[in-house]
Amino acid sequence: MNTKLLASIAVFALLAGVVSTSMMQSVYAADYGMKDASMTKKTETKAKVEAKKTETKAKVEAKKTETKAKVEAKKTETKAKVETKKDSATGKAMASDNVTVEMAKGAGSNTSCADKCYVQSDVQIKVGTTITWKNVDTAAHYATSGKDATSDGIFDSGMVNAGKTFSYKFDKAGTYDYFCMVHPWMTGKVTVS
């Protein structure tokens, strides 16, 4: 009698153990499944963020490239405009807009710079054009109107130091010779029509 009871209890305990274990397992499984789902969601979100980053980067790059292309196009356009203003026969500037003449590099020490002392040294322009002399040399220069190192008083830049400029607007037709007060071998001519 005692033995039977003990056996029953043992069987019951065993069954209870099996049932509780399987229940626990299913709880675990559910929990694990949830974790798995949340991990998947995290990974998904991360992927979305990465994709968006890549997309934004691509857009920024595309915009940069577009802007660069526009700038290049404008540069080319400006260059073309300037070039069309040169006289097709002589290649000299025929601009009605502003013209720049450089006081050339080394012109202060090179007594034989001749027609390269000012670049360009012989310029043809229309009435109303402003010429800007730009000193690209290291020495100071002048653009003084006159001939044979004698000022005629029409225009005088005064001393134009390295990197500086002087501008003069030509309102009357005519031929204007000019030179540099400190380097009289530097001569140039402006023809206004």
Q: Which residues of the chain form contacts with Cu ion (CB under 5 A)?
A: 141, 180, 182-183, 186
The least CB distance from residue 165 to Cu ion, in Å, is: 14
The least CB distance from residue 70 to Cu ion, in Å, is: 41
Q: Could you count the other beta carbons within 10 Å of the beta carbon of residue 149?
A: 13
Nearer to Cu ion, 176 or 183 (CB): 183
Nearer to Cu ion, 63 or 147 (CB): 147
Comparing CA positions, the residue from 140, 100, 136 lying closest to residue 120 is 100
Nearer to Cu ion, 95 or 101 (CB): 101
- Peptide linkage before 120 cis (omega within 30 of 0): yes
> CB under 8 Å to 162, separation ≥6 — which residues?
135, 137, 138, 139, 140
Nearer to Cu ion, 125 or 186 (CB): 186
Nearer to Cu ion, 123 or 141 (CB): 141
Burial letters 33-45, b for 16+ CB under 10 A, else e: eeeeeeeeeeeee
The least CB distance from residue 185 to Cu ion, in Å, is: 9
Distances from the Cα of 96 to the Cα of 7, 18, 81, angstroms = 119, 103, 12
The least CB distance from residue 171 to Cu ion, in Å, is: 26
Nearer to Cu ion, 129 or 135 (CB): 135
How far apart, in whole angstroms, are the C-alpha atoms of residue 96 and residue 114? 26
The least CB distance from residue 73 to Cu ion, in Å, is: 39
DSSP 160: B
The least CB distance from residue 108 to Cu ion, in Å, is: 5
The dihedrals phi and psi of 47, each to the nearest 5 degrees, come to -60, -40
